């Protein structure tokens, strides 16, 4: 078994990224590129084979590859991102995934960002954010029914994507920001709440038994470690200025 992580280089246009909740601040694109390389090294250290797609000078947000696809064991869904500026990002992602999975495509009027899709077992929770709509959820449910996935919409408040508010850090454990998503949606699943002083801290990238995690949330990191989670911190501060975090910079999946 090989674990593949598809990434894409940081666009020199990152400063012109889409922003929803953050004020625009200067971004040091060279530092962002350096941080992204270290993030890729963390993926490699945790056993992934990194497949890096070339940076694109026109597509400001294209480093955030997670939003362009949802890769499941049986199939990959190519999204139709909610921000029109991001729709061309899906083309090279579809090309990169085609050797590994059959592809299905979300079509208009559906819009969905991969950052809104959280898989827990055979349930896909989809954030009803500014980016993802019910039409896409309906398409996803129809396309994935043959594979026996259940697809459910989830309200999110105040954040960009569902995975800004909740991510899975183990098969049976979630990291949650209860201000941004109602934890009752996931009742029955063990969850760890972020430190409330650290907004944005719910986005963690699980790779096997370990978790790649932003270095900027030390109090929540301590909570994770106290719960026995093996955390690998990475500095993604420049990418965070673009409303990115750790799940958004890769598409991780297994191949035989
Ligand atoms: C956007 O607004 O689309 C980008 N600036 C950030 C996307 C981050 N994506 C993610 O967390 N899945």
Question: Tell me, what CATH number does 187's domain have?
Answer: 3.75.10.10
Closest to 250 in 3D by CA, of 36, 17, 103, 30: 36
Measured distance CA(214)–CA(217) in Å, rounded: 6
- Could you tell me if 160 and 20 are in contact, meaning their C-beta atoms sit under 8 angstroms apart? yes
Closest to 242 in 3D by CA, of 11, 22, 94: 22
161 belongs to the catalytic site:
yes
pLDDT (tens digit per residue) in 101-130: 999 999 999 999 999 999 999 999 999 999
Q: Whose CA is nearest to atom 3 of ligand 1?
A: 18
**Can you give the pLDDT at residue 245?**
93
Ligand 1 pocket check for 116: Cβ under 6 Å: no
Q: How confident is the model at residue 2 (pLDDT cuts 50, 70, 90)?
A: very high
Rg of the Cα trace of the chain? 17
248 belongs to the catalytic site:
yes
**Can you give the pLDDT at residue 207?**
98
**How many domains is the chain partitioned into structurally?**
1
Ligand 1 pocket check for 89: Cβ under 6 Å: no
pLDDT (tens digit per residue) in 148-163: 999 999 999 999 999 9
pLDDT (tens digit per residue) in 184-229: 999 999 999 999 999 999 999 999 999 999 999 999 999 999 999 9
Q: What is the mean pLDDT of residues 55-77?
A: 98
Query: Range of 168's domain?
Result: 2-255
> pTM for this structure?
0.98
Q: What is the mean pLDDT of residues 30-46?
A: 98
- Active site residue: 36, 48, 159, 161, which one? 161
Backbone angles phi, psi at 90, to 5 degrees: -75, -20
């Amino acid at each position: 078994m090989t674990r593949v992580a598809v990434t894409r280089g940081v666009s020199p246009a990152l400063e012109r990224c889409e922003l929803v909740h953050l004020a625009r601040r200067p971004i040091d694109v060279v530092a962002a590129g350096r941080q992204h390389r270290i993030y890729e090294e963390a993926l490699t250290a945790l056993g992934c084979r990194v497949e890096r797609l070339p940076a694109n000078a026109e597509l400001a947000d294209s480093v955030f590859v997670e939003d362009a696809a949802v890769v499941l064991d049986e199939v990959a869904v190519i999204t139709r991102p909610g921000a029109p500026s991001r729709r061309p990002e899906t083309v090279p992602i579809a090309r990169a995934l085609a050797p590994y999975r059959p592809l299905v495509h979300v079509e208009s009027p559906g819009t969905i960002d991969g950052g809104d899709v959280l898989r827990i077992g055979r349930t896909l929770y989809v954030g009803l954010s500014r980016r993802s709509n019910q039409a896409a959820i309906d398409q996803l449910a129809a396309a994935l029914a043959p594979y026996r996935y259940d697809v459910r919409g989830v309200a999110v408040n105040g954040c960009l994507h569902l995975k800004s508010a909740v991510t899975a850090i183990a098969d049976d454990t979630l990291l949650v920001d209860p201000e941004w998503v109602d934890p009752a949606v996931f009742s029955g699943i063990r969850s760890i709440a972020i430190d409330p002083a650290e907004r944005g801290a719910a986005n963690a990238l699980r790779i096997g038994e370990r978790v790649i995690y932003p270095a900027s949330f030390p109090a929540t990191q301590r909570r994770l470690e106290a719960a026995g989670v093996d955390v690998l911190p990475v500095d993604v501060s420049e990418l965070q200025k673009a409303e990115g975090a750790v799940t958004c910079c890769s598409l991780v999946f297994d191949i035989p």
